[in-house]
Each structure stands twice: as structure tokens, then as C-alpha cells.
């Protein structure tokens, strides 16, 4: 029996993007998926669009909730996800037809519980290659702090097996939240699979709640880094140096 992969997509004010996003998931070459669309009290037509899409594909589940932010939306999706693996896609992005099969093969063939992709398509990046390798969780933590693996939760795949350790998004951390989630996850595994083939398209959306930045965001990002340090079960001098670099040189301007 092929494993089920849960795809969680938070939906908020993305009426001009969400059809393409969901359609790109419906058209995956790997069919054994559940698509969880979480409408986070969106005031535009997003809710109507996803309800229409759900009529076309019985793999789609729509959740409608009061607005609580993207993290509460992802958590709502995680709480009902029934797949062996989960992946996240932002509501304004879209993915290649082999997005799921690529990530699933990355973790299964390398016997890892987390797969992270180093590359994606965006305005700034078109890099893609077939490289894949396994690195220790400690090395992955270091790379995230140094910016060698981006900190977002999209373009990655996670085994639900270890997420059952009650790993959820910290809804009080609205900036630097992806990094916190990934660092938390990496405390529970020995190694991860890394791929470099671009299968995810990050779309420039100036209105995206996730991409606005201000002083409050920076303070929240620093708070996120401090929480991460408290959660470390794995640490070494390289991780400490990389964490210090993140705090002092970069702040936390990415998710």
C-alpha cells in the first residue's frame, strides 16, 4: 500500500493565487495524498474558491476557522492530518507535478524522517540539480542558522511518526516560526535527507502576511532564536557559533 502524504495549505487572502496552488497539488504524479486547506477566516473569496475545488476532488478537506494566523492554521491542519508524512505549501505558491514523489523518494530511499530541499524557484533563484545526500541533524541545525538551508517549512517533508511527540507551531512566535519548528523537529531525529532539485515555486506576493517585515518582527525573530536555544537537545561548538552568527549578523529576516 502506498503511503499517504498529507499536504497542508493555510489559506488567507490568496484569492488570486489559491486556485493555481491547489490545482498544482491535485495534479501530482503521486496520487495517494490528502489535501488539507485551512481557511483562516479569510475576508476575500478564498473560502468560496476552496469549497468549489473540494467538490472536484475527494482528496480535499476544507477547514474553516476564525482568523488566528498562519501558525494556528498549520496547527489545525496537523491535528487532522492522517498521512504517514506531511508537507506544507503556502497558499500563494505552487509546486511541480513531481513535488510529492520527489520529496517522498528523498526520505524513503535515504531512510530518513525529514527531507529538506535546498533549492526552489523564485525571482532570485533558478538553481536545480539532482544531488542528494544525508547529513546529521546537528549539521542541518548549523546549516539552517548559517542560511545554507532556508528556514521555511515549505519545500520539506516530515514523518508524522516523530511529529506525534507533540511538535506543533508555537502560535506566539509569528516571525522566525519556521526556524523554530524545524529546529524543534531536528532534536528528534539523527539525520536528514537533503535534495537540491527545484520542485517548489515561491511566488512574490507583496501582501503576504508571512513576508512583511518590521521592528516587531525582528524582536520576535530574536525571541524565536532564544526559545530554540532552550529547546536544544543537540548542541556542539559549530551549532553555538552558527546560532551566534544568526543573532549578531543576520538577525532573523527569513522564515
DSSP 166-198: T----TT--SSHHHHHHHHHHTT-SEEEEE---
Residue 180 · residue 228 · CB < 8 Å: yes
Coil, strand or helix at 36: strand
What pLDDT is recorded for position 253? 46
What pLDDT is recorded for position 213? 54
Q: Give dist(CA 245, CA 180) in Å, integer.
A: 16
Radius of gyration of the chain (CA): 17
Residue 193 · residue 93 · CB < 8 Å: no
Q: Give dist(CA 1, CA 239) in Å, integer.
A: 40
Per-residue pLDDT of the chain (255 residues; tens, 9 = 90+): 689 999 999 999 999 999 999 999 999 999 999 999 999 999 999 999 999 999 999 999 999 999 999 999 999 999 999 999 999 999 999 999 999 999 999 999 999 999 999 988 887 777 888 899 999 999 998 999 898 888 899 999 999 998 887 789 988 877 778 899 999 999 999 999 999 999 999 997 666 555 555 666 777 777 788 777 877 877 788 888 887 888 887 554 444
Amino acid at each position: 500500500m502506498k503511503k499517504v502524504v498529507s499536504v497542508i495549505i493555510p489559506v488567507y487572502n490568496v484569492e488570486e493565487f489559491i486556485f493555481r496552488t491547489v490545482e498544482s497539488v491535485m495534479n501530482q504524479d503521486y496520487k495517494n495524498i490528502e489535501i488539507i486547506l485551512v481557511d483562516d477566516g479569510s475576508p476575500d473569496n478564498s473560502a468560496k474558491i476552496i469549497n468549489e475545488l473540494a467538490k472536484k476532488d475527494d482528496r480535499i478537506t476544507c477547514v474553516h476557522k476564525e482568523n488566528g494566523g498562519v501558525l494556528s492554521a498549520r496547527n489545525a491542519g496537523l491535528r487532522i492530518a492522517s498521512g504517514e508524512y506531511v508537507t506544507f505549501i503556502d497558499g500563494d505558491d505552487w509546486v511541480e507535478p513531481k513535488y510529492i514523489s520527489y520529496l517522498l523518494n528523498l526520505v524513503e530511499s535515504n531512510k530518513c524522517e525529514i527531507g529538506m530541499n535546498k533549492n526552489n524557484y523564485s525571482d532570485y533563484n533558478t538553481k536545480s540539480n539532482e544531488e542528494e545526500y544525508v547529513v546529521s541533524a546537528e549539521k542541518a541545525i548549523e546549516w539552517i542558522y548559517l542560511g545554507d538551508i532556508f528556514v521555511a517549512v515549505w519545500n520539506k517533508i516530515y514523518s508524522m511518526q516523530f511529529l506525534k511527540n507533540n511538535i506543533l507551531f508555537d502560535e506566539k512566535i509569528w516571525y522566525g516560526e519556521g526556524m523554530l519548528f524545524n529546529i524543534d523537529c531536528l532534536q528528534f531525529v539523527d539525520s536528514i535527507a537533503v535534495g537540491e532539485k527545484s520542485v517548489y515555486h515561491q511566488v512574490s506576493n507583496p501582501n503576504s502576511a508571512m513576508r512583511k517585515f518590521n521592528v516587531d518582527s525582528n524582536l520576535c525573530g530574536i525571541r524565536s532564536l532564544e526559545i530554540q536555544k532552550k529547546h536544544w537537545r543537540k548542541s556542539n561548538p559549530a551549532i553555538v557559533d552558527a546560532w551566534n552568527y544568526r543573532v549578531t549578523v543576520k538577525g532573523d529576516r527569513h522564515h
